[in-house]
Amino acid sequence: MRARRSGRWKAAHRRWRHSLKWRLVTLFLLLALATTAVFMFGTQRALQSGWQGWVRPIVDDYAERLVAEIGSPPDPARAQAIVARLPLSIRIDGPQLHYDSHPRDEALHARRFDPSQWGLVRHSADGYRIAFGLAVPSPEARPRLAGWFTLAALLLLTALAYAYVRRLLRPLEAIGEGVARFGRGEFGTPIAVVQHDELGELSERINRMAASLQGMLDAKRALLLAISHELRSPLTRARLNAELVPEGEHRDALLRDLGEMRDLITDLLESERLAAGHAALQTEAVDLAALAREVVEAGFAGRALRLDLAPDIAPVQADPTRLKLLLRNLIDNALRHSAEAGEAPTLFLARHGSGAQAQLELGVRDHGPGVTDEQLQRLAEPFYRVDSARTRSAGGVGLGLALCKLVAQAHGGELLIERAQPGLRVAMRWAPARRGPGRD
């Protein structure tokens, strides 16, 4: 139990340290308490230090007047008239008279006439002792709810301070959401400027920065598309000329290099088209199992490859061309990196969940050497290749998994890359529409 409480306290402390709003509210509350304490202490010290020099002579003079008004010998009726007129308590002790204007129990009596308080004592010439003091209200007359009212007022002020701080810091939430959108490449929705203060200016600056980044990315994309298109024509002519070269090792090497250049240009063009997301897709009803078999028969016939395709997957709305591109890249990547493995890669199609929450997985699992944790996080980056793949014989330019990630995102899904012990498991997971209007 103690460990659980300690864990909850540590978690709450971490959340408090992470929350700027709660730290500001705590600061305001502590500041209010400290200000109140300093004010009360200062006032008390001022009264105590000024009592002897300023107030005491006035009170002494007034006490003498009251003693004279009571008379000698003291008259209880006059004393009672003074008590009725002023918030004072009077006690008279003498040879023939004992009078107490506020008879209470001994504890209250001792406190009321404590010399350290406001009480003053006078001795008359005829032997009477007259003690004055401030009347202590009875317990019934004291406002019992004053403490609760004070606490409630303090809590109310804290709540108002929190609401005000939350309102002041509301732009931070919008800024955080906007930065997350910009980080995903979604520049269409700027950060809403809700306040015209420093945070509002920060929002506007981030919006301008995002617009500048979008312009640079669009310019880069346009330049890349233009270069890729311009390179296709001379590359096609170079390949035709290479076909006229006499057969031999040099001709094969030249054709292989030209083929790699062609594939690179094709992948670059496709990656830029897929950067538009779903708008780049041409969807239709697709039988995923039949499409997977078609890809295997067309490009990987005779290769060691296992199929594990769920038979009860209904046709879904998807772009068959982009799904074929995804499968070709995944299969080619798996075959290339598990050539020396004792078991063939597996092309799988599976469904997870049911009803509206159902998701599909289409991917490949290999039994190769795998990758490290650091490499795993970067496998889908453009042009990234692990050290074991940086050879001509291994092939590839590092765009295959990056294209697969773009295909998955364009379909509203994600590309999962997991270590399978041994090897890798790479799959596109998404929740596709089961039927639609046909080709978009």
Residue 370 has a pLDDT of 81
pLDDT digits (tens, 9 = 90+) for 404-418: 998 998 898 999 999
Residue 143 has a pLDDT of 54
Distance CA 321, CA 266 (A): 14
Dihedrals phi, psi of 68, to nearest 5 degrees: -65, -35
pLDDT digits (tens, 9 = 90+) for 140-187: 545 556 667 776 777 787 778 778 777 777 888 888 888 888 887 778
pLDDT digits (tens, 9 = 90+) for 363-391: 999 988 888 888 888 888 877 777 544 44
CB 94 within 8 A of CB 127: yes
Residue 48 has a pLDDT of 62
H-helix or E-strand spanning residue 427? strand 424-430
pLDDT digits (tens, 9 = 90+) for 206-226: 999 988 888 887 777 777 777
pLDDT by residue for the chain (440 residues), tens digit each? 667 777 778 787 777 676 666 777 777 777 777 777 777 777 666 666 655 566 777 777 888 888 888 888 888 898 889 888 888 888 888 888 888 887 764 444 444 445 444 457 888 888 888 888 877 655 554 555 666 777 677 778 777 877 877 777 788 888 888 888 888 777 888 888 877 777 788 888 999 998 888 888 777 777 777 777 777 777 777 877 777 778 777 777 888 778 777 777 777 777 777 776 666 788 899 999 999 999 999 888 888 899 999 988 889 999 998 999 899 989 988 888 887 777 889 999 999 887 777 899 999 999 888 888 888 888 888 777 775 444 444 555 677 888 899 899 889 899 999 988 888 999 999 987 654 433 44
Write the CB contacts of 428 (distance below 8 Å, at least 6 apart in sequence). Answer: 326, 361, 362, 363, 404, 407, 408, 411, 413, 414, 415, 416
Residue 363 has a pLDDT of 94
Residue 317 has a pLDDT of 92
List the structure tokens of 408: 């998955």
Q: What is the DSSP string of 288-313?
A: HHHHHHHHHHHH-TTS--EEEE-TTP
Write the CB contacts of 42 (distance below 8 Å, at least 6 apart in sequence). Answer: none
Residue 287 has a pLDDT of 93
Question: Tell me, what amino acid is at 435?
Answer: R
Distance CA 127, CA 125 (A): 6
Distance CA 93, CA 82 (A): 17
